[in-house]
Amino acid sequence: MTLLATRVKALTGLILLLALLALGILARTTRVTSYDLHLDLAVRAHRFGLASGLFEALTAAASEVVGLGLLGAAALLLLVRRRRFDAVRLVLMAGAAWTLALVVKHVVARPRPPAFLALVRPDPSGSFPSGHDTTACLVVVIALFATVGLGLRLRAAVVGLAVLFAVGVGASRVYLGDHYPTDVLGSWLVVAAAALLVWAATDLRPVRRIPLLRAPEPLPAY
């Protein structure tokens, strides 16, 4: 770990955060919404029973309750393996991502797609970013932390499944007519920005000296 690496994480996180805000502004424009609606309508034309059931199940599997359960299980696993620093860092990343998603939803306040597109009852909250896919993308981060030190093949398999889950949930939100494609992209930016910024912050020497966050390994010499 070096100061340069920490700066790169922080800078990348800030760039992704700015990209998220810019996308949120664009998502409110008529032109972008028109493109998004065109894609939603194109997807609607290819709906069929089996796919509808599968995508409804994927959306249900990405609820906040499920996300909190997975986060708690991963944190407990890390604590049992004496990786307290990783457990706290993971919880901070998840908390930051969920909080950022809620703030951006409130600030952007993008209306949901037209009701006639919805296969399920729409959520009353704003459309940008997708809350369900924010949780699904967090599953990727959870998988990355929970599998640290468990072997390259096992880690690649678990993380790969988590990525497929996140992509599937994103597709389900568009398929079910509850979100626009840019809402899904926004959720990926939310998680990436939050994770990188928290990662950079918890790399800092003063932060790592906080008793709760104290890492088991020696502090780096900056």
Task: Give yes or no for residue 221 having a pLDDT over 50.
Answer: no
Task: Give yes or no for residue 158 having a pLDDT over 90.
Answer: yes
Percent of the chain beyond pLDDT 70? Answer: 93
pLDDT of residue 211: 67
**Are the beta carbons of 174 and 39 closer than 8 angstroms?**
yes
**Are the beta carbons of 214 and 85 closer than 8 angstroms?**
yes
Q: How far is CA 136 from CA 71, 182, 191, in A?
A: 11, 16, 10
The pair of structure tokens assigned to 94 is 């998840």
Count of beta carbons in the 10 Å neighbourhood of residue 169: 25
Task: Place 123 in a pLDDT band, splitting at 50, 70 and 90.
Answer: confident
Q: 94: closest CA among 125, 68, 127, 66?
A: 68
Task: Give yes or no for residue 156 having a pLDDT over 50.
Answer: yes
**Are the beta carbons of 187 and 197 closer than 8 angstroms?**
no
Distance CA 10, CA 57 (A): 36
pLDDT of residue 124: 78
**Are the beta carbons of 93 and 198 closer than 8 angstroms?**
yes
Task: Place 195 in a pLDDT band, splitting at 50, 70 and 90.
Answer: very high
Out of 30-39, 110-119, 126-135, 181-190, least confident range: 110-119
